[in-house]
Chain A
Amino acid sequence: MRSPQLRTIAATAVLCGSAAFAQVANIDQPVVNLAGGPVNVAATFDLPMGMGPAQDQAFALAPATGLAFYTANYQAFGSFPLAFNIVGTDPSLGANTTTIPAVLVPLNFVFPNAGNPMLDGTNVIAATQNSPIFQSADYMAGSVDLGFTQYGDALQRGEFWNLPGFSPGYHVLLGVPSIGATVTVTVPAGKGNAYALSGGGFMGVVDTAYFEQVLMALLPNYTANQLPIFTTDNVYLGTNGLLQNCCILGFHSSQSGPIASAKTWIYAAYAEPGTFSGSQAGLSFVDVVPLSHEVAEWLNDPFVGGPGINFIPPAVLPNTGGACIVNFETGDPLETAPYTFPKVTNSTTYHLQDEVFLPWYLQDSSFSVNGWNTFQNLTAMVPLVVNSPPSIAGSYTNTATLIFAPVNTPVTGNVVYVGRGCPGDTYLANPSGQIALIDRGTCAVSLKVDAAATAGAIGVLIGLVAPGDAITFVYGGGSDFVPSLVITQAISDAIKNALVSSPVNATISPNNALPTPGAKLCGPG
């Protein structure tokens, strides 16, 4: 969530960003799959400017029994100290485990539409409990094992992995969540609507200000050392509860100071699969992607900035047309697509958002794992390394990754050219056990990767068929993916030519990935 006080600046930047800030974004606007047809929405994780409560006086006078956090300076530009409040203990002080009591609060919305459709957050509590937000899974950062732990803990460990004093015994965990009583909200006319989805079921949109009122009435039930997570089942926020103003998918918030006793909380929608286009894999909003976004941001900016703290050098938010951000929010720079990755807990595949590390903002990646700027390095450039024949051997860096088929494990093998590679096409060669080189075109790239993986390919190279830099592609169907890269027409042609006379052996590996570049500074004005 971005800092509210500067929203006017950020909004202006969105509307009027100059060409210098334009992003190359081969990424579609989120689409909601309504029964009447797909509808574009603007998905975000922000509250409108100026919303949120002030510290209630009674609590301000209470003893400090607040959230467990620390304050420390980290250097921007390598030398300028900026202060940050972050949940947990100071990782430079070594091993420690902080466990924050969490409460899942299901919100049950009864909408005023015909038949009074109901979307009950109670239905997604079990799925949320069983998700990587609370359950442990193994997290790797390249070849570094960040541990078998929760998503948020793995994120924090990766963020400070190389900080002097950091210990592998450092943890920031959410406690086993207690489940609050279901809160039933009968939405008044004009404050919300339910919309039928093409795949069945509904999504809901509730007026943002009205929703805030609902939460404010619930806050006295929780203490400052807890993290209440207000959970909805496919219910999002938008002015007047209208789809055209949708969708805020979640936010984290805080009372004003004194922060020693300020309450913090999260709202996150559980995004039912099929609600947003592409929600089966990568680049979309599905299951606990909104909650992962908010938990990560809450961990790193629990009080949403102030006083005079958690500010970062103003940075351009990628893929937003030039909007800038001024406070330390880990999720916002990667929410547009969003960049997500799968993780299995309790035999169920969930999706989590990649997050930027603090060094991404500080222009100094000295203390994060591998020197990476994001948790999973999903936006990193992975080179194609051709091992043989010598005539074309080398590392080719003009490549692009595919979010739905990330290069998360090393792949080395012989390359075979299979042709266009759309479903139903006859392959020119058998890709089983090899890396399939496939021409771009005609059908979705994700379907090509799916088909090749189904045929036994261990990796895929998508060769462009026109000159130009490598570009990425959005998800367009399929479910079986292997590590894949998009390569330029020039590289593709070189491989095809070499294949005429000899085998071509290549490697695509996360171990060769170049770190995601740091944030682009917001220009003056």
Chain B
Amino acid sequence: MCYRRATRAICAVGLMLLSVPATAATIAACNATFTICAIPENISLQLPDGFEAFAGDVILTEPNSSVVSDVFRIFNNLINTGEGTGIGNMMFLYSADDSALPPPSTYSANAVFIPEDPSGVTSFLGNGTNYVLNAPEPETCLSIGLACVATAILAHKRSKGRQSRLRQFV
């Protein structure tokens, strides 16, 4: 077994099944142990160095409805094993309020469906990491101003094309 070789192997993987948004990625705000990460909507995010995740889709549905409101996608940009599965460190939270959602035909084979929290901030626990999916409804923004401010800050950083690592989330 050789860890070094395997690392190179990951880097060599090229073909992606699910295309990653072309915009420059912002480093996701995660804590040092990768047990919690803040995921604002409509921003291409990259996990901090040293962290990888299992690829796949988390489909958020409207509370008490089967209507899809948001899709949190972890891309298989490091290892593509088909049908949206594999390993990746890039992710994107698509919100129906602001952008087109990925069509259901592209949902990953391991997709999970969870109801969106009425506050617009939904926690998804995936393999030990709590992804705080922050996709507030426009009218909800006022009531959770702090989360929206954070989102706005992240969006601003993205618009500046900055790649600096954010402070740890907790």
| Chain B residues within an 8 Å CB radius of A312 | 81
A313 touches B83 (CB 8 A): yes
Docked complex: A1-34 residues within 8 A CB-CB of B: 1, 3-6, 8-9, 12-13, 15-18, 20
> How far, in Å, is B150 (CB) from chain A's closest CB?
21
| Chain A residues within an 8 Å CB radius of B53 | 9, 524-525
Name the CB-closest residue of B to A522: B54
| Chain A residues within an 8 Å CB radius of B110 | 313-314, 521-524
Q: Within the assembled complex, what's the spacing in Å between the Cα atoms of A253 and B5?
A: 12
The answer to the question of A149 belonging to the interface, with a C-beta cut-off of 8 Å to chain B, is no
Q: Within the assembled complex, what's the spacing in Å between the Cα atoms of A305 and B13?
A: 13
Given contacts A12-B34, A305-B6, A326-B87, contact A523 B112 (CB under 8 A): yes
Residue among A13, A47, A523 with max Cβ neighbours from chain B (10 Å): A523
Name the CB-closest residue of B to A47: B1
Docked complex: B114-162 residues within 8 A CB-CB of A: 124-129, 131
A314 touches B4 (CB 8 A): no
A253 touches B1 (CB 8 A): yes
Main secondary structure of the interface of B (DSSP, over half): mixed
B2 touches A254 (CB 8 A): yes
Q: Within the assembled complex, what's the spacing in Å between the Cα atoms of A261 and B123?
A: 48
Given contacts A308-B12, A522-B127, A524-B56, contact A77 B109 (CB under 8 A): yes
- Chain B contact-residue range equals 35 or more
Name which of A51-59, A417-425, A450-458 contacts chain B.
A51-59
A13 touches B108 (CB 8 A): no
Docked complex: A288-338 residues within 8 A CB-CB of B: 304-309, 311-314, 322, 324, 326
| Cβ 8 A contact of A314, one of B10, B35, B85 | B85
| Chain B residues within an 8 Å CB radius of A322 | 127
B109 touches A313 (CB 8 A): yes
Q: Within the assembled complex, what's the spacing in Å between the Cα atoms of A307 and B85?
A: 18
Name the CB-closest residue of B to A306: B9
Docked complex: A501-525 residues within 8 A CB-CB of B: 521-525
The answer to the question of B62 belonging to the interface, with a C-beta cut-off of 8 Å to chain A, is no
The answer to the question of B63 belonging to the interface, with a C-beta cut-off of 8 Å to chain A, is no
B131 touches A525 (CB 8 A): yes
Given contacts A54-B4, A525-B53, contact A314 B87 (CB under 8 A): yes
Name the CB-closest residue of B to A309: B9
Name the CB-closest residue of A to B10: A5
- Identify 17 new A-B residue pairs, CB closer than 8 A, beyond the known A16-B127, A525-B54, A525-B128: A5-B3, A8-B51, A12-B127, A12-B129, A13-B128, A20-B112, A54-B5, A256-B5, A306-B5, A308-B13, A324-B127, A326-B87, A523-B54, A524-B58, A524-B111, A525-B124, A525-B126
- Identify 27 residue pairs between A and B in the complex whose beta-carbon atoms are under 8 Å apart, listed by A's number: A4-B3, A9-B87, A51-B3, A52-B2, A54-B4, A77-B82, A77-B109, A251-B1, A254-B2, A305-B9, A306-B5, A308-B10, A311-B86, A314-B81, A314-B86, A322-B127, A326-B79, A521-B56, A521-B85, A522-B54, A523-B56, A523-B112, A524-B53, A524-B54, A524-B56, A524-B72, A525-B128
